[in-house]
Amino acid sequence: MNQSIEELIRIKSWNDCFLLNINIIDKEHERFFEIFDTLLSVKEDAFKHKNIILIVNELEEYAYQHFKTEETLMKKAVYQEIETHIVQHNQFLEQIRYFQLLYNPSKDSLLDELIAFMRKWIVTHIYDEDFKYVEKIQLYLIKDEITRQQKSQN
Ligand SMILES: [Fe+2]
């Protein structure tokens, strides 16, 4: 964590400094950054509007699924700050859904606002919130694996 939040916000795509060392979550975060980058590249396209809607829909669906993954693991790991964390996830989804409702080709500034919001949110959320549950979920996964191995031996 040597880089400042401002520096990280400028990073367009996935960076290993976002790794939580929880395999399933890291893979999903990486995929999310990939879809986000697609949105950035389509933004420069002359025939972009239809594609922007498609990619934003994909981001919304992917974020929804990914948040479910995190929330399920937080629940299983009995993570104390789960409620605050879920509020943040819901705020992110609300912002995307607000864009989906209002966006049309004459409202390009809305897209810039969405991109700026998402970039800042993703980075600060991973650093300020996701890193907090790492220990608890890692411990849960280790215990879960041990229980599974014991069951298969009996
Ligand atoms: Fe999260």
**How far is ligand 1, taken at its centre, from the CA of residue 27, in Å?**
13
129: which DSSP letter? I
The CATH label, of 1.20.120.50, 2.60.120.590, 3.20.20.140, 3.60.70.12, for the domain at 18-153 is 1.20.120.50
pTM to 2 decimals? 0.86
pLDDT tens for residues 35-90?
Answer: 998 888 887 776 678 889 999 999 999 999 999 999 999 999 999 999 999 999 99
Rounded CA separation 127/96 (Å): 21
For the stretch 6-41, pLDDT in tens is 555 554 568 899 999 999 999 999 999 999 988 888
For the segment 132-154, what is each residue's pLDDT rounded down to a tens digit?
999 999 999 999 999 999 998 87
From residue 89, how far is each of 1, 25, 59, 86 by CA, in Å?
23, 14, 13, 5
**Measured in angstroms, how far is the CA atom of residue 87 from the centroid of ligand 1?**
10
- Report how far ligand 1's centroid is from the alpha carbon of 144 (Å): 21
How many angstroms separate the alpha carbon of residue 130 from the centre of ligand 1?
Answer: 5
